[in-house]
Amino acid sequence: MDIKDISVVVDLAGERRAVRAAADLAKRLEAHLTGLSLAYDPIVPGYAVAPVPADFMISARNQALKEAETAIDAFHQIAAETGIDGEAHLVDVMAGGGLDGIVHEVRLADLVIIGEDDPDHPEPVREALTEAVLFNAGSPLLIVPRQGKTTIDPSRIMIAWDGTITASRAVRAAMPFLKMAKHVEIVLVDDGKKLPTGERLCGHLLRHGVESSIRKVPNPGKDVAKAIRQAAIDADAGIIVMGAYGHSRLLEWILGGATRGMLNDLALPVLMTH
């Protein structure tokens, strides 16, 4: 399947690296790009002992809407600079609406792009938003780091392979990128468990016209995410492809160790599926 429909979450502030990366990718793939700007409900501390004045809530809501509209203007400016015709609209997640709105917006996207949170310009509930899209939207998610490699370069791709269902789904989702790559490396991290050989994946990719190599990576520190990250840096990869592991607890997703470790310290774009 070709990537022809891309959605990107527009940061409310900062350099909006994810939008710039998404616009460049959309131009390269001749894909349609939709920017989603979120207006968040004002957060009221649970320990508040007095009712919050109505005028404060109205003012906070208006400010959130203003910031979201400003982000839409920034999206259109970046799209124009890149030379693409993109569309953008506001997604209202106020009044306790949760994140269902954004999840439904991206369900039909071939690819969703979101930026890693920037501590200098923190986005509201960015971690929860990333997890909601990753586990509930059903679309592949590509996360752009706030530093390091902030462009999406599919010429060199590293697949973190452990033979699981989530890893195989990630490979299928990444196939359009894999077919564009000049170099694909399958990395097997020694985590003390029996490793898949990687040969079957290598053969599968070859049947799709994708040549690949296999590399086994030691993990003396028992930190899978760190081992994957370092292997990608050593290989000068432009994208990491990996499955996202998580389990449900009381209807909320709890990230697995390698998944959370990767999301907490990005060095290059990571494409994940669940």
What pLDDT score was predicted for residue 197? 82
The mean pLDDT value for 71-82 works out to 97
Helix (H) or strand (E) holding 115: strand 111-115
pLDDT tens column, 24-69: 999 999 999 999 999 877 654 444 445 666 776 778 778 889 999 9
Q: What one-character DSSP code corresponds to residue 148? A: S
Q: What is the pLDDT, as a whole number, of residue 212?
A: 98
The length of the chain, given as a count of residues: 274
Question: Smallest Cα–Cα separation from 226: which of 197, 190, 251, 253?
Answer: 190
What is the CATH number that goes with domain 156-273?
Answer: 3.40.50.620
The single residue listed with the structure tokens 């968040």 is 40
Provide the CA 67 distance to its chain's centre, in angstroms.
Answer: 22
R_g of the chain, CA atoms, integer Å: 19
Classified as helix, coil or strand, 236 is coil
Share of the chain above pLDDT 90, in %: 57
Which DSSP symbol is given to 121?
A: B
- pLDDT tens per residue, range 226-267: 888 999 999 999 999 998 865 444 334 444 556 666 777 788
Strands (E), 147-203: 156-160, 183-189
pTM, two decimal places: 0.90
**Is 163 a residue whose pLDDT tops 60?**
yes
Which of these, 188, 178, 198, 273, lies nearest to 227 by C-alpha position? 188
Percent of the chain residues topping a pLDDT of 70: 86
29: left (phi over 0), alpha (psi -120 to 50) or beta: alpha
Same fold, 5-144 and 156-273: yes
User: In this structure, which CATH number among 3.10.310.40, 3.40.50.2300, 3.30.70.2740, 3.40.50.620 belongs to the domain 5-144?
Assistant: 3.40.50.620
Mean pLDDT of the chain: 87
Q: Match 């909320």 to its residue by tokens.
A: 252
| Integer angstrom CA distances of residue 81 from 5, 8, 212 | 20, 17, 36
Report the C-alpha gap between 207 and 6 in whole angstroms.
27
Q: Spell out the domain ranges in the chain.
A: 5-144, 156-273
